Amino acid sequence: MKNSFKTILALGFLVVGLNACKKDDLNLKPTNDVTAESVYATPAGYKNSLVKLYATYALTSSTGSDNSDVGGLNSGFADFLRLFWTSQELVTDEAICAWGDVGIPELDYSTPTPDNQFLRGLYSRSILQITLCNEFLRESTADKLASRNITGADATAVTKYRAEARFLRAYQYWVLLDAFGNPPFVTEDDAIGKVNPKQIQRAALFSYVESELKAIEGDLADARTNEYGRADKGADWALLARLYLNAQVYTGTAKYTEAITYSGKVINASYKLKDNYMDLFKADNDLNNTENILTINYDGINGTNYGGTTFLINAAVGFTDKYMNRSPSDYGVPNGGWSGNRTRQNLPALFPDTLGKLDKRGVFVGDKATVNEVGVFKDGLRVTKFKNITSTGAMGRSLNGTFSSVDFPLFRLAEQYLIYGEAVARGGSGGSVAQALTYVNLLRQRAYGNASGNVSAAALTVDFYLDERARELYWEGHRRTDLIRYGKFTGSTYLWPFKGGVQAGASLPAYRNLYPLPLADLIANPNLVQNTGY
């Protein structure tokens, strides 16, 4: 049975009647049908408003899956995870999409333009969520609480809610930092609707996200003590570790020692690997799971939309054939199957076999690994990682047999093991190769079911970690960031099918390590300067 906070999240927009802000209006209040004075009049109102902040990650609008809070974007595309996943995976060697919707082919080719609707959607969705967090923070100051006679334990609880809102805002600013580099920037301290937001530069945004995450640590719940699906110290440390691992890309200055420190904090916080790797991505992955640190929670009946894990499952499933003895029912979506995403041959080639008989993480379906034609779904192997089926084999909760109840891990322990190891390999202080080897082999023992896949300390090169991250974390929204950190996303040192729009792969110019700012926002806000090259 789903726990209470997950159920509340699924109904989050029904709990709080705030509508969304206009697209790209980072410095505006959300438009309200219900006044702030009534929404925030009670401690329960603050909890309900916190629910909305989390629910915005999993739902596309306050009025159901057929509508979008992001203006100008089809509701089917408007879920945060779908947009984020597309930006991280479709442009890399891990995924390719057969669909011809405007904007998808250029993502398949890693050559998006400033008009790309999916990147504009991600940018707008992140800004929307930042705007909602800013509004919550404006309404939860000590003065506001005092004026509403919220004191004592209730005021202490709201202090924790504020820390979570700041974490969610910091996470979205990290998304913008990683993808766009130099976005508009506003906090709760800026005047509302007076001037266009100023642009922040990437290194300054890094420092802001870092400082926010450090500032809120003391007010967040201890690791693994908060309600499922809510941020705590573990999530805070996990994002800091990820931030520091990529610091050289973001600022020009490496911070591998800090990456070791914060991944170590997570590792020592009583998280444990789940015994069965594939159970991490099933419909009951919210139960008995001490590996996930923070998730986006989905409910296939009460909180449906066409993004999230519904998208990850359905887009990887054919809808008409019994291809390789598989059908949508095998994935827990008997009435789904959209014939879109599969992997390029580079990913399965990292595994000892493609049926998961040795390394059980690599489960692929199909009889043709090579992608010769982008629009042919059977070119490339299907990824069967996410399934709306429980660990006991039962069908997961699903409205009309289409939607998924699989929660998506934003952070999990395995990533922290790999951050620790890579940071040690890159010369960070405070860790050891011996400890990194222990962490790597814990992952590989789970993958192989025994010690047959174990590696030696000599194998733990920097390049080893790029491949091991692909084996462990594929399709979880890491690959573009990883390839950029390794200097392999642009240039010609590493090619994959249709990189640069050429079947054999072609070099990409270095400026494509950043996405372009959306043209619509450049026109609307004269303070913004486009990223170099676009």
Q: Is the pLDDT of residue 192 over 90?
A: no
| Burial profile 268-288: b = 16 or more Cβ within 10 angstroms, e = fewer | ebebebbeebbbbbbbbbbee
Q: What mean pLDDT is predicted for residues 502-526? A: 97
Phi, psi of 462 (to 5 degrees): -60, -45
Answer yes or no: is 262 within a domain.
Answer: yes
The one-character DSSP state at 31 is P
Instruction: Tell me if 183 sits within 8 A of 199, measured CB to CB.
Output: yes
Answer yes or no: is 369 within a domain.
Answer: no
Cα–Cα distance measured from residue 471 to residue 466, given in angstroms and rounded to the nearest whole number? 9
Position 36 scores a pLDDT of 84
Q: Is the pLDDT of residue 19 over 80?
A: no
Cα–Cα distance measured from residue 243 to residue 240, given in angstroms and rounded to the nearest whole number? 5
Instruction: Tell me if 499 sits within 8 A of 505, measured CB to CB.
Output: yes
Q: Domain holding 434: CATH number? A: 1.25.40.10
Q: Is the pLDDT of residue 305 over 70?
A: yes
> What domain range is 235 assigned to?
220-297+407-457
Cα–Cα distance measured from residue 176 to residue 178, given in angstroms and rounded to the nearest whole number? 5
Q: Is the pLDDT of residue 28 over 80?
A: no
Confidence of residue 448 (pLDDT cuts 50, 70, 90): very high
Give the tokens for residue 467.
């491949």
Position 32 scores a pLDDT of 46
Position 72 scores a pLDDT of 85
Cα–Cα distance measured from residue 169 to residue 534, given in angstroms and rounded to the nearest whole number? 27
Which of 206, 215, 205, 204 is closest to 247 using CA atoms?
Answer: 206
What domain count does the chain have?
A: 1
Helix axes 256-267, 413-425, angle to 10 degrees: 150
Lowest mean pLDDT across 95-104, 363-372, 467-476, 493-502 = 363-372
311-369 confidence digits (pLDDT tens): 999 999 987 655 556 789 999 999 999 999 999 999 999 999 887 899 999 989 998 99
Q: What mean pLDDT is predicted for residues 425-439? A: 98
**CA angle (397, 64, 79) in 5-degree steps:** 80
Position 354 scores a pLDDT of 80
Helix axes 413-425, 233-245, angle to 10 degrees: 30
Query: Which residue(s) pair with 364 in the sheet?
Result: 383
More confident residue, 5 or 25: 5
Confidence of residue 21 (pLDDT cuts 50, 70, 90): very low
Instruction: Tell me if 169 sits within 8 A of 500, measured CB to CB.
Output: no
134-176 confidence digits (pLDDT tens): 999 999 999 999 999 999 999 999 999 999 999 999 999 999 9
Position 24 scores a pLDDT of 44
Q: What mean pLDDT is predicted for residues 9-26? A: 46
Q: Is the pLDDT of residue 2 over 60?
A: no
Q: Is the pLDDT of residue 1 over 80?
A: no
User: With pLDDT > 90 as the criterion, what percentage of the chain qualifies?
Assistant: 86
Cα–Cα distance measured from residue 29 to residue 157, given in angstroms and rounded to the nearest whole number? 24
Q: Is the pLDDT of residue 23 over 80?
A: no
Instruction: Tell me if 380 sits within 8 A of 369, measured CB to CB.
Output: yes
Mean of the per-residue pLDDT values of the chain = 93
Which of 309, 315, 312, 321 is closest to 367 using CA atoms?
Answer: 321
Query: Which residue(s) pair with 199 in the sheet?
Result: 184
Using alpha carbons only, how large is the chain's radius of gyration in Å?
A: 22
Position 3 scores a pLDDT of 54
Answer yes or no: is 257 within a domain.
Answer: yes
- Give the global pTM: 0.95
Answer yes or no: is 448 within a domain.
Answer: yes
